[in-house]
Amino acid sequence: MSALICGSVAYDTIMVFHDRFRNHILPDRIHVLSVSFLVPQLRREFGGCAGNIAYNLKLLDGDPLPMATVGRDFDPYSRWMDECGVDHRHVTRIDTEYTAQAFITTDLDDNQITAFHPGAMNSAHLNDVRDASGATIGIVAPDGREAMIEHASQFADCGIPFIFDPGQGLPLFDGDDLRRFIDLATWVTVNDYEWEVVRQRIGLDAATVASGVEALIVTSGAQGSVVHTRGATIEIPAARAADTVDPTGCGDAYRAGLLHGLANDMDWETTGRLASLMGALKIEQPGTQNHRCSRADLESRFRESFGRSL
């Protein structure tokens, strides 16, 4: 079963600041903020929500179909997708633009400051869900505003169940927009901060949102996640990570676990735990697409974290 993943494909330039942002930002002077962080570590990685989710879903032996727009500098990423076995026939190249670029600085508390240049992502609405025959499940992940709106409507029109994941795209939408997304979506997933923003903008609580979708999933990092369904609230513990190296892309890894569980009719207790484990595997490695796991490794880590078989 193919999962159509609508979202960004981007290059991530990741920098590590060997201190804490809070030691260098004066709260009473934030209206005239002028700070500079020395970042001795820098690397360029393949990223973007659609690219990251597709990579992680492929690790789970899934069939991801990323749908995105990229620029004239896409060739290295294209070769990487080929190497990973990720089908990119629905990734459209815009030769007048650069591929989206994220510049991410992480401090010692894993706080992040990100600058994002959308580039070709602004043309993502040129892609059409209806062109992706064979997709049985989907996700609307952070992308251009118009693209997210159109792709959600196209999924609904095609009768393809999909996850709405506003993520970094949340500032683009007001309460009416978000209520429309929720009305169309089958599932909604956000982190705890995003949920608070969504809740304030739509004026609805978790139980009310969950009554209109199959599930609302709210993640809280190391504190685990909560799945709100129409009939239950399911607490999902965090998987044990061997080390905390880089949080970038953990949310995308989690969402790949959700897609895999939903596509394979797993129950929420299993789906949520698998998603949590994917996030833990990612956080142990730098970058968003450098972690690996075999099926045997996955099953062993699942038993180690949760005391049950996958």
Length of the chain: 310
**The whole model's pTM is what?**
0.92
User: Terminus-to-terminus CA distance in the chain, angstroms?
Assistant: 20
What pLDDT band is residue 301 in, cutting at 50, 70 and 90?
Answer: very high
Phi-psi region of 90 (alpha: psi -120 to 50; beta: other; left: phi over 0): alpha
CA distance 106 to 113: 7
Start-end of H helices in 60-144: 75-84
pLDDT for 266 equals 98
Percent helix / strand / coil, the chain, rounded to 5: 45, 25, 35
The predicted-structure confidence for 209-218, as pLDDT tens digits, reads as follows 999 999 999 9
pLDDT for 14 equals 85
DSSP count for the chain of H helices, then E strands = 9, 13
CATH class for domain 2-20+42-305? Answer: alpha beta
Q: What average pLDDT does this structure show over 1-28?
A: 93
CA distance 56 to 62: 9
Domain ranges within the chain, ordered by starting residue: 2-20+42-305
User: Could you write out the DSSP letters of every residue in 161-225?
Assistant: -EEE--GGGGGG--HHHHHHHHHH-SEEEEEHHHHHHHHHHHT--HHHHHHHSSEEEEE-GGG-E
pLDDT for 26 equals 87
Closest CA to 186 of 210, 208, 204: 210
The predicted-structure confidence for 164-194, as pLDDT tens digits, reads as follows 999 999 999 999 999 999 999 999 999 999 9
Write out the two tokens for 163: 């996850």
| Neighbour-count burial of 151, counting CB atoms closer than 10 A to its CB (0-12 exposed, 13-18 middle, 19+ buried) | buried
